[in-house]
């Protein structure tokens, strides 16, 4: 028998070598108890969470939790079916209504995860003779959406407007084109120059899809994302988003003003051939989305936290993914995987959880300690976090 898992031997070897150094498995952390959006008990120890996507801290919001409990009581634990058969409840309709209102758009389609939203929309929109043009640093769900479809895929260098424009100009003018961009790129936390990119895309006759997963709720005047902040939201054909970040539950969506949008419900396989979200999930999502419309103060505090952490880490001597804070993600660049893992462990011992990110998730083979802030982190917690970074950084030789 040819062992089909033998191809993973190099990864198994690398992992065993890393764990043999006595490191806690960075990809196997268990949260034994969760006290709040910013604190959990890990390995019996109180740990500040700085590696979640709980940007707006909605997971323990009393109204959100109450809505979920009520739906669980009234509609049961699950729908046991597809959205196009028995899986559309009143709650799914209310959730889509909340999204239409949040984005001020005509149509909203809720998927079971954000990953599936990209998978479904990209693979369905672009057919065999069409082109999908993507940024090299795109999220895995965008690459997988391309792989699921039959379109021709063209990649351009990260956030490079000229590279995008050149490629659009080399495409046959009469073909269908979909340019796929992200508002915030999640590894380095950098923002896309959407204004320029949307302009060159429209000039080339392309449709534009923007994934605003890491900006919803706190970037842009109404929290609609980077496209809103840069004043081009009206030129975006499709916005993809998720409930698993600022909204604080799970699920994905696409919103659009395209007059034929509703047909996608019948032709998009990752929408049709999977069970719909449980009633409690869509109820928490709808409640959370409506509360995010009025989250101005939280938004300001989150961006303040981001500035404070970015400035503090820079002052300590760490190398960061962006020169200025651009989002709620601050990436600390590590010299290599070994140092990154040692630093990650030292922070965990101090009582701080961050994400250890490594290739292939990261660009240019980088090892990153990725910090993502929450609107519920207090000013004192950010101070505490900086103290932990100082101590762990000196212990591991990352900073002087």
For another protein, the binding residue among 103, 115, 131, 218 (CB under 8 A) is 131
* Nearest CB to another protein, comparing residues 267 and 364: 364
Binding marks (x or -) toward another protein, 195..224, rule CB under 8 A?
------------------------------
Site stretch for another protein (CB under 8 A), options 71-79, 150-158, 196-204, 224-232 = 150-158
* Nearest CB to another protein, comparing residues 15 and 157: 157
* Nearest CB to another protein, comparing residues 57 and 321: 321
Are 312 and 386 spatial neighbours (Cβ–Cβ below 8 Å)? Answer: yes
User: Would you report the helix, strand and coil content of the chain in percent, each value rounded to 5?
Assistant: 45, 20, 40
In angstroms, the CA 69 to CA 61 distance is 12
Site stretch for another protein (CB under 8 A), options 152-160, 181-189, 299-307, 386-394 = 152-160
Strands 207-211 and 238-242: parallel
* Nearest CB to another protein, comparing residues 317 and 359: 359
Are 355 and 344 spatial neighbours (Cβ–Cβ below 8 Å)? Answer: no
In angstroms, the CA 369 to CA 357 distance is 6
**Is 155 a residue that touches another protein (CB under 8 A)?**
yes
End-to-end, the C-alpha distance of the chain in Å comes to: 54
Are 108 and 132 spatial neighbours (Cβ–Cβ below 8 Å)? Answer: no
Distance of closest approach, residue 145 Cβ to another protein, in angstroms: 13
Binding marks (x or -) toward another protein, 73..112, rule CB under 8 A?
----------------------------------------
Distance of closest approach, residue 186 Cβ to another protein, in angstroms: 15
Sequence-ordered strand ranges (E) for the chain? 31-36, 39-42, 45-49, 107-111, 131-135, 152-156, 177-182, 184-185, 190-191, 207-211, 238-242, 252-256, 329-334, 352-353, 355-357, 367-372
Binding marks (x or -) toward another protein, 156..195, rule CB under 8 A?
xx-----x--xx--xx------------------------
Distance of closest approach, residue 273 Cβ to another protein, in angstroms: 25
* Nearest CB to another protein, comparing residues 29 and 204: 204
Distance of closest approach, residue 116 Cβ to another protein, in angstroms: 21
Nearest to 269 by CA among 139, 149, 128, 93: 149
342: β partners: none
For another protein, the binding residue among 365, 378, 383, 397 (CB under 8 A) is 365
Are 217 and 55 spatial neighbours (Cβ–Cβ below 8 Å)? Answer: yes
SS3 209: strand
* Nearest CB to another protein, comparing residues 15 and 166: 166
Nearest to 181 by CA among 219, 213, 216: 213
Binding marks (x or -) toward another protein, 321..360, rule CB under 8 A?
--------------------------------------xx
Tokens of 170: 């080399």
Distance of closest approach, residue 135 Cβ to another protein, in angstroms: 10
* Nearest CB to another protein, comparing residues 29 and 163: 163
**Is 7 a residue that touches another protein (CB under 8 A)?**
no
Nearest to 209 by CA among 86, 147, 120: 120
* Nearest CB to another protein, comparing residues 168 and 219: 168
Distance of closest approach, residue 16 Cβ to another protein, in angstroms: 21
Ramachandran region, residue 152 (left: φ > 0; alpha: ψ -120 to 50; beta: rest): beta
Handedness of CA 294, 297, 303, 305 (dihedral sign): negative
Count of chain residues binding another protein (CB under 8 A): 19
* Nearest CB to another protein, comparing residues 76 and 359: 359
| Binding footprint of another protein on the chain (CB under 8 A) | 131, 136, 146, 152-157, 163, 166-167, 170-171, 359-360, 363-365
């Amino acid at each position: 028998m040819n062992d089909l898992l033998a191809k993973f031997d190099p990864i198994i070897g690398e992992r065993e070598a890393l764990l043999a150094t006595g490191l806690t498995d960075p990809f196997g952390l268990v949260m034994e108890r969760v006290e709040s959006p910013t604190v959990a008990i890990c390995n019996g120890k109180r740990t500040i969470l700085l590696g979640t996507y709980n940007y707006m801290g909605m997971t323990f919001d009393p109204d959100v939790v109450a809505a979920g409990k009520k739906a669980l009581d009234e509609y049961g634990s699950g729908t046991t079916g597809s959205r196009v058969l028995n899986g559309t409840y009143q709650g799914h309709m209310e959730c889509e209504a909340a999204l239409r209102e949040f984005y001020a758009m005509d149509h909203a389609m809720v998927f079971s995860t954000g990953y599936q939203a990209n998978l479904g929309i990209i693979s369905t929109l672009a057919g065999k003779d069409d082109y999908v043009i993507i940024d090299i640093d795109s999220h895995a769900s965008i690459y997988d959406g391309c792989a699921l479809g039959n379109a021709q895929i063209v990649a351009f260098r990260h956030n490079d407007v000229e590279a995008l424009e050149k490629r659009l100009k080399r495409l046959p003018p009469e073909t269908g084109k979909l340019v796929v961009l992200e508002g915030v790129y999640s590894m380095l936390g950098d923002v896309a120059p959407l204004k320029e990119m949307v302009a060159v895309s429209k000039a080339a006759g392309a449709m534009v899809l923007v994934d605003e997963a890491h900006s919803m709720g706190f970037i842009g005047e109404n929290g609609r994302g980077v496209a809103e902040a840069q004043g081009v939201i009206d030129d975006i054909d499709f916005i993809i988003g998720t409930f698993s970040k600022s909204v604080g539950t799970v699920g994905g969506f696409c919103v659009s003003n395209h007059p034929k949008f509703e047909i996608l419900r019948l032709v998009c396989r990752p929408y049709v051939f999977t069970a719909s979200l449980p009633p409690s999930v869509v109820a928490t999502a709808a409640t959370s989305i409506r509360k995010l419309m009025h989250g101005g103060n939280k938004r300001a505090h989150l961006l303040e936290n981001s500035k404070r952490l970015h400035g503090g880490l820079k002052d300590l001597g760490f190398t960061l993914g962006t020169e200025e804070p651009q989002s709620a993600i601050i990436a600390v660049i590590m010299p290599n995987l070994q140092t990154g893992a040692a630093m990650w462990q030292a922070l965990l011992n101090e009582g701080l959880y961050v994400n250890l990110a490594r290739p292939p998730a990261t660009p240019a083979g980088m090892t990153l300690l990725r910090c993502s802030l929450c609107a519920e982190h207090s000013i004192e917690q950010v101070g505490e976090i900086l103290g932990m970074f100082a101590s762990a950084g000196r212990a591991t030789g990352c900073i002087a």
